[in-house]
């Protein structure tokens, strides 16, 4: 399975996040999966790449030329694919991936995972999406999701489109046993005024 991992590029974050990224990379390698990620040599991206590679995974980094030119491409990826920009990078990651995992991260990570979640909602794909909620990092995002369900901005069945994992082992187990939920193409039925 080609597992795309979205994650932080920050080296300034707590060690607890690096530990979980390393566990995830190890599991990806031990279970014979391929890692696809942003290809940078910093933050959780590099941590998961090194760990996955050390555990026997094939690792593919997809990085915009702007960052590659600044020598930010990981030397630990087996393959680096350089794109013209961020949109092409995300498209390539989505096309190559069989599943998506979001580790904690900043705006870029959130944008990437929310895009694949939106595309899943619209039936552009049926690939599993997992958030690894290390240190309860995503608690407020999940509260925002709940507000969307409660106030009819999103259908409650969309809760089935992503999985909240407490750790990497739970995340990989979910991916290994995933079966996609079927969605209809109907919008909300709005009462007549």
* Structure confidence at residue 76 (pLDDT): 94
Check: CB of residue 48 under 8 Å from CB of residue 5: yes
Name the packing angle between helices 43-54 and 15-30 (round to 10°): 30
* Structure confidence at residue 112 (pLDDT): 98
* Structure confidence at residue 184 (pLDDT): 77
What CATH number should be reported for the domain whose range is 2-176?
A: 3.40.50.450
pLDDT tens digits, the chain, 193 residues: what are they? 999 999 999 999 999 999 999 999 999 999 999 999 999 999 999 999 999 999 999 999 999 999 988 889 999 999 999 999 999 999 999 999 999 999 999 999 999 999 999 999 999 999 999 999 999 999 999 999 999 999 999 999 999 999 999 999 999 999 999 999 888 776 666 666 6
Look up the pTM and report it. Answer: 0.94
**Phi, psi for 34 (deg, rounded to 5):** -110, 135
* Structure confidence at residue 182 (pLDDT): 87
* Structure confidence at residue 189 (pLDDT): 66
* Structure confidence at residue 46 (pLDDT): 98
């Amino acid at each position: 399975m080609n597992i795309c991992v979205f994650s932080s590029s920050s080296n300034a974050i707590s060690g607890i996040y690096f530990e979980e990224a390393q566990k995830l990379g190890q599991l990806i390698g031990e279970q014979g999966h391929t890692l696809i990620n942003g290809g940078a040599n910093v933050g959780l991206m590099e941590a998961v790449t090194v760990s996955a590679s050390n555990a026997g995974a094939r690792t593919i980094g997809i990085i915009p030329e702007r960052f590659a030119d600044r020598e930010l491409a990981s030397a630990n990826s087996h393959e680096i694919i350089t794109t013209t920009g961020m949109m092409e990078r995300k498209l390539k990651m989505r096309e190559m991936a069989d599943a998506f995992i979001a580790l904690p991260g900043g705006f870029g990570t959130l944008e990437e995972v929310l895009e694949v979640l939106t595309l899943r909602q619209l039936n552009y794909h049926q690939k599993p999406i997992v958030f690894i909620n290390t240190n309860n990092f995503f608690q407020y995002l999940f509260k925002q999701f709940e507000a969307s369900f409660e106030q009819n901005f999103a259908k409650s069945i969309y809760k089935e489109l992503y999985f909240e994992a407490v750790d990497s082992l739970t995340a990989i187990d979910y991916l290994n046993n995933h079966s996609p939920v079927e969605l209809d193409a109907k919008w909300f039925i709005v009462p007549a005024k």
